[in-house]
Amino acid sequence: MGRGLCPQRIPRTFHVKSFGCQMNVYDGERMAELLTAQGMTATAERDGADLVVLNTCHIREKATEKVYSDIGRLRRDDGSVPLIAVAGCVAQAEGEEIMARAPSVKVVVGPQAYHRLPEMVADAAAGKRGTETVMPAEAKFAALPKRRRSGPSAFLTVQEGCDKFCTYCVVPYTRGAEISRPFSDLVEEAKLLVAGGAREITLLGQNVNAWSGQDDKGRAIGLDGLIRTLAAEPDLARIRYTTSHPNDMSEGLIAAHGEIAKLMPFLHLPVQAGNDRVLKAMNRSHTVESYLKIIDRVRAARPDIALSGDFIVGFPGETEAEFQDTLDLVGQVRHAQAFSFKYSPRPGTPAATMPGQIAPEVMDERLKRLQEALVRDATAFNRASVGQRCDVLVERRGRHPGQWLGKSPWLQSVHFTGDVAIGDLVQVDLVEAGPNSLAGRLVD
């Protein structure tokens, strides 16, 4: 055998490695299903795989550099390389450059074109490298195989793309314009996921609450209408959705939190910053006041709701006083959990060339202070849950013998021991809290 991949050989095994957001996780699962439908077998480790798909993320930091170092690490001890496909948002943004710089990459496929992965892999095995980064996504979903098996908690992409153009964000360029998948396709996919073992479905979209469609009677509906329909599925126990934009938080969706028992009491609603000048410069098109009003209304509809969010510190021009406003907002809202990031200039976005770029050490220091406040609030939220009895969906085994891990309605990780199985929905008393998880006791 010569070194490297024999050009005529179609891969028999594959490994998909997804980075970044839950939508990428969903896309990674669909790519794996596509390749499986071609007769290929997934491997747990990338080392032994004939084909490795790097499903990349471009949202922050030196994403492209990371892809190149990952590609380098795929070289095996004997000098050979698997067939490498680069998918995801870096593929979309930097496809041609990747092809030019990394000869070992044979396929580059964007997030709206991955239904073409099998034929591109076949072409590559026959010696023909290829790049596909068409948008938008209409053709993709129809070309994917039907879903068969699912874990207890499944993702379902209902909406893709973004028209909001926040000035720091690369998503509108890598994922394209907002599209909503049709109602009937989503109901069908949800039923298949439930038939395949899902007890919980998380509806995904870059702006999931902007989803719109027509129900089976032709009536225009929003995300709340879709949730109401899915809630009628007898074997589906829980529904979640993420990520939402404040401007698309409709009255109907807020009310749904008080009305639909299967809709879990959790809302991820990024605010990004707590100062109106910064929000305007970010092109967020909401204010601190309008955000807080939404939070009040959501809490009125569902008093126990757990709130989550995203924050960016060190946006260009952010002053110390403006950053303090973010800390003040955090102090008012008291999030149950949150993600916080240092601003990262993304090539091609308006903010990348704005004056007043913030020094890294200032960003580090602000992020540290913000995260201290967020950890304080997450810990307080978890501590306040101690003493409650709640349902936990069992997702996997824990690290210790006999231990199980699952999620509370508020998306907290709960560990406990007992005689249960993956996919069970069990009652647990919450007995101890940390910042990231809770200990529970199974109710007999």
The residues of the shown chain that bind ligand SF4, judged by CB under 6 A, are: 162, 164-166, 169, 171-172, 206-207, 245
Cβ proximity to ligand SF4: between 151 and 345 the closer is: 345
Q: Fill in the DSSP letter of residue 411.
A: S
Instruction: State the nearest-atom distance from the C-beta of 108 to ligand SF4, in Å.
Output: 22
162 binds, among ligand SF4, ligand 5AD, none (CB under 5 to 8 A by kind): ligand SF4
Cβ(172)–Cβ(126) below 8 Å: no
Can the peptide bond before residue 136 be classed as cis, meaning omega within 30 degrees of 0?
A: yes
346 binds, among ligand 5AD, ligand SF4, none (CB under 5 to 8 A by kind): ligand 5AD
Cβ proximity to ligand SF4: between 124 and 171 the closer is: 171
| Phi and psi torsions of 106, nearest 5° | -105, -20
- The encoded tokens of residue 283 equal 């092109």
**159 binds ligand 5AD, rule: CB under 6 A:** no
Cβ proximity to ligand 5AD: between 20 and 118 the closer is: 20
Cβ proximity to ligand SF4: between 18 and 244 the closer is: 244
* DSSP string covering 26-70: HHHHHHHHHHHHTT-EE-SSSTT-SEEEEEE--SSSSHHHHHHHH
Distance in angstroms (rounded) separating the CA atoms of residues 442 and 420: 9
Relative to beta strand 153-157, strand 130-132 is unpaired
172 binds, among ligand 5AD, ligand SF4, none (CB under 5 to 8 A by kind): ligand SF4
Question: Which residue in 26, 155, 168, 266 binds ligand 5AD (CB under 6 A)?
Answer: 168
Sign of CA pseudo-dihedral 210, 213, 217, 218: positive
Cα-to-chain-centroid distance, residue 288:
25
Cβ proximity to ligand SF4: between 164 and 335 the closer is: 164
Cβ proximity to ligand 5AD: between 157 and 272 the closer is: 272
Cα-to-chain-centroid distance, residue 141:
18
Distance in angstroms (rounded) separating the CA atoms of residues 443 and 352: 53
336 binds, among ligand 5AD, ligand SF4, none (CB under 5 to 8 A by kind): none
Cβ-closest residue to ligand 5AD? 310
343 binds, among ligand 5AD, ligand SF4, none (CB under 5 to 8 A by kind): ligand 5AD
60 binds, among ligand 5AD, ligand SF4, none (CB under 5 to 8 A by kind): ligand 5AD
Burial of 302: CB neighbours in 10 Å, binned 0-12, 13-18, 19+: buried
Cβ proximity to ligand 5AD: between 246 and 270 the closer is: 270
- The encoded tokens of residue 247 equal 């401007």
CA 118-122-124 angle, 5° bins? 115
**Contact letters for ligand 5AD, residues 251-280 (x by CB under 6 A):** -------------------x-x--------
Cβ proximity to ligand SF4: between 115 and 175 the closer is: 175
Question: Which residue in 344, 382, 408, 412 binds ligand 5AD (CB under 6 A)?
Answer: 344
Per CB under 6 A, contacts with ligand 5AD among 309-338 are 310, 312
Please choose, from the candidates 79, 69, 81, 64, the residue with its C-alpha nearest in 3D space to the C-alpha of residue 6.
81
Cβ proximity to ligand 5AD: between 131 and 167 the closer is: 167
Q: Count the residues of the shown chain that bind ligand 5AD, applying the rule CB under 6 A.
A: 12
Instruction: Count the Cβ atoms, other than its own, within 10 Å of residue 127.
Output: 10
59 binds, among ligand 5AD, ligand SF4, none (CB under 5 to 8 A by kind): ligand 5AD
Instruction: State the nearest-atom distance from the C-beta of 12 to ligand 5AD, in Å.
Output: 36
**286 binds ligand 5AD, rule: CB under 6 A:** no
Cβ proximity to ligand 5AD: between 266 and 343 the closer is: 343
Angle (deg, nearest 10), helices 88-101 and 22-37: 70
159 binds, among ligand SF4, ligand 5AD, none (CB under 5 to 8 A by kind): none
Sign of CA pseudo-dihedral 223, 226, 232, 235: negative
Sign of CA pseudo-dihedral 241, 244, 250, 255: positive
List the 266-268 sheet strands across, edge first: 266-268, 306-313, 337-342
Which residues of this protein are in contact with ligand 5AD, per CB under 6 A? 59-60, 168-169, 270, 272, 310, 312, 341, 343-344, 346
